[in-house]
Structure 1
Amino acid sequence: MHAKLPTLCYVLLIVLFYYIEEGIQYPATIRLLENAICHQHYARAGDTNLPVDETLCKIGVVQDRLAFIRGWYSFWTTLPVLLLGTFFGDLADKFGRRRVLSLAVFGMICGLAWVFVTCNFWDSLPLELAWLTALCRCVGGGPFVAIALYMTMASDLSTDENRSQILYVVSAFKFGVEIIAPQLASVLLRHSLWLPYLICGISLFMIFPCIAMMPETLPLKQASDAAFPSNFTESNTNPFSYMRFFTNKAVALGLVVDFLLQFRYNTLQILIPFISVRFSWAIEKAAKLLSIIPGVSLILFVALTFLTDMLRRRWSLRPARFNVLVLRAIIFALAAGVLLIAVSASIGAFVFALVIFAIGFNTRAPVLAYISGHIDPVHDTARLYTLISILDAFVHMAGSPLIEILWARGLDIGGDWLALPFIISGLFYLAALILAVLLPYPPTTDPSMVRNASREHSPLLATTGEEEED
């Protein structure tokens, strides 16, 4: 028997456990790799006074190698979603979101275990073996597919009128989790390097009961078959069919904007090393500052959720139109924030810049809400979100080595050039801002889309009376 919980609650529980893992795993992995590299360096130098204190790991040779390992780690672990993302997207649209999400989570658990083993046996294993985590990501597609799927589930439960609000709610809940996770990571890292990874594994494992208990959100096949010819869905199984999204001007422009904005995660990738080196902070202390980003984002998105509803009720302003205006404003904040980070000379100035950066950091919800308003939700939602995850993965795969190379170059030059990665990132966000100004407003109606049939089976925040057996 399934628990009588609203379907969206299960999606939020998945978000909870996923981002607890992500928030702890991110600084923990940096520290694990740094610790292993640092011990290898001093062991080769003949230093037998082990373990090595973290303060001795901030030297250039250790940080350069850390940048090299992390950059190519991101490259290889992102490759599976580029090769298999469309395959898993089609599976999610044919056989359901839950099964594919289960595969992705299992692959992530295997990847966690492999990274820990590689770093724990630093004295006998080359750290480049951590790159083999990419093989684990071939099972389910990894984090990019997992994110695409839980956002797809949220979109499945929405309508044209409330899609922006629902994606805002999911994003706001995510930010709340991200406020807590770095603080928890900081506490755990003070005690040991293995404990954070244990908590990460448990958190990911807790997603399985949520998936097992929740109803499938995939729109009813009978409704889609009644509204569209059968050969329409068959043509979408070809990976090249994803290119048809670019024939719609609004969708294509939105995808390019999202592509450029994805570099913000590459910027985030070096925030902890930047704080640690520039202000001589330990990694566990620097990780605490990351809570600023979800904290500001949470306040912003809660405010936007209520503001959107108020404008719709009182002044009949369409949420889709307001969403475009919001998107442009937060992209401006993103560009301004990263450039302020580049010129910050003190920790106070850095925190102020980070707050501005945080206002514009989470552009995903407004971008998805905009693009989703221009597609057929019955057949294209999972495929579109998979395409976005593939584009994101491509940026991450290419951008991670690039940002680490820029960071290593900045370390070599020293001084103000430590901010070189932030300056380059700012150029991408300025380009995204220019394109966002050109985004057309969504149409008032789209009679070619049949939307209601696929929504009737799972109304938002309504409990389901159906039992589902795997």
Structure 2
Amino acid sequence: MPASDDGPESSPLLQASDEDAESREQQKADVSKWTKVAIQNAALAATFLVLYAFADILRYISTIRLVELGICREHFLQRDPQSEEDYRNIPEHLCKLPSIQQRLAHLRGYLAALEAIVGLILTLPYGLLVDRFGERLVAGINVVGYLLSCAWIIVVCYCWQVFPIWSVVLAPLFRIIGGGSPILSSIIYSIAAKSTPDSSRQVIVPPRSHPWI
């Protein structure tokens, strides 16, 4: 009667050696560690996001005042077209009339809606461009669009004799260059996540409310 070979047949064909197991454990330990490059990238990403948010707040405050001044100027010029030079710079307390504030609220709503539409439509196309050309190039293009958007608001408010104040609502169209704020934030978070150890990636990021609302 032949001898039973159940022992060898039931054993796994490939047995992991102690060296392989130790190697895998070492790789897992290395992945979970913060490297110097990871710390630098995370610090730069956090610094950029903080500075960008601070700049966005300052831009929002100054833009609201400029738009309010433009609406106020048009309001008083409609009543007295001959006193154009007198309304070049109107005190802020004179611009708190309900009709002026109502129009200001409408323009803020249009700005918020148009900027949201731009970000919604261009998220996918610029996401594909990030995969093809890299994060840094797309982030640089996004900053250019941001600067052009700010420059347009300044030009409209400064050249108030040429452009009507409602022209400021066209500023978000310049964010087509780069895809808007959602693309830039996603790129920065992606750069930070790639350098972050797997064990530290489960970080809850609070949603960022829109500045125009």
Q: Does 1:98 align with 2:132?
A: no
TM-score of the aligned structures, taking structure 2 as reference length: 0.72
- Which residue does 1:371 correspond to in 2? none
2-side partners of 1:106 and 1:80: how far apart? 15
Moved over 3 A (4+): none
- Which residue does 1:31 correspond to in 2? 65
1-side partners of 2:66 and 2:57: how far apart? 15
Q: Does 1:70 align with 2:108?
A: yes
Contact 2:118–2:179 (CA under 8 A) maintained in structure 1: yes
Structure 1 unaligned segments of length 5 or more: list them: 172-260, 271-470
Q: Which amino acid aligns with 2:118?
A: P
- Which residue does 1:115 correspond to in 2? 153
- Which residue does 1:409 correspond to in 2? none
Cα deviations by residue, 1:40-88 (Å, 9 ceiling, x for unpaired): 1112111734321101111111011101111112222332222221011
Q: CA RMSD in A?
A: 2.4
2-side partners of 1:158 and 1:94: how far apart? 22
- In our comparison, the structure showing a higher alpha carbon Rg is 2
- Which residue does 1:209 correspond to in 2? none
Cα deviations by residue, 1:300-352 (Å, 9 ceiling, x for unpaired): xxxxxxxxxxxxxxxxxxxxxxxxxxxxxxxxxxxxxxxxxxxxxxxxxxxxx
Q: Which runs of structure 2 are paired with 1:314-463 in the superposition (5 Å)? A: none
- Which residue does 2:76 correspond to in 1? 42
Cα deviations by residue, 1:430-468 (Å, 9 ceiling, x for unpaired): xxxxxxxxxxxxxxxxxxxxxxxxxxxxxxxxxxxxxxx
Instruction: Tell me the number of residue pairs that the alignment of Structure 1 and Structure 2 aligns.
Output: 172
Contact 1:81–1:141 (CA under 8 A) maintained in structure 2: yes
Q: Does 1:22 align with 2:60?
A: no
More deviation, 120-129/50-59:
120-129
Contact 2:141–2:177 (CA under 8 A) maintained in structure 1: yes
Provide the secondary structure at the position in 1 that maps to 2:202.
helix
Q: Which runs of structure 2 are paired with 1:207-356 in the superposition (5 Å)? A: 265=209, 269=212
- Which residue does 1:87 correspond to in 2? 125
2-side partners of 1:23 and 1:156: how far apart? 28
Task: Please state how far the C-alpha of 1:153 moved relative to its aligned partner.
Answer: 1.6
Aligned in 2, Cα 1:126/1:75: closer, same or farther, shift over 3 Å?
Answer: same
1-side partners of 2:111 and 2:127: how far apart? 24
- Which residue does 1:59 correspond to in 2? 97
2-side partners of 1:59 and 1:135: how far apart? 30
- Which residue does 1:429 correspond to in 2? none
Contact 1:69–1:128 (CA under 8 A) maintained in structure 2: yes
Cα deviations by residue, 1:412-446 (Å, 9 ceiling, x for unpaired): xxxxxxxxxxxxxxxxxxxxxxxxxxxxxxxxxxx
1-side partners of 2:56 and 2:129: how far apart? 25
Contact 1:38–1:57 (CA under 8 A) maintained in structure 2: yes
Provide the secondary structure at the position in 2 that maps to 1:164.
coil
Aligned in 2, Cα 1:269/1:80: closer, same or farther, shift over 3 Å?
Answer: closer
Contact 1:40–1:123 (CA under 8 A) maintained in structure 2: no
Contact 2:41–2:191 (CA under 8 A) maintained in structure 1: no
Task: Please state how far the C-alpha of 1:269 moved relative to its aligned partner.
Answer: 4.2
Contact 2:108–2:212 (CA under 8 A) maintained in structure 1: no
- Which residue does 2:200 correspond to in 1? 162
1-side partners of 2:76 and 2:51: how far apart? 37
Provide the secondary structure at the position in 2 that maps to 1:111.
helix
- Which residue does 2:172 correspond to in 1? 134
- Which residue does 2:45 correspond to in 1? 11
- Which residue does 2:31 correspond to in 1? none
1-side partners of 2:174 and 2:212: how far apart? 21
Structure 2 unaligned segments of length 5 or more: list them: 1-36
Cα deviations by residue, 1:203-231 (Å, 9 ceiling, x for unpaired): xxxxxxxxxxxxxxxxxxxxxxxxxxxxx
Cα deviations by residue, 1:69-123 (Å, 9 ceiling, x for unpaired): 1111222233222222101112223332111111111100011000111112223
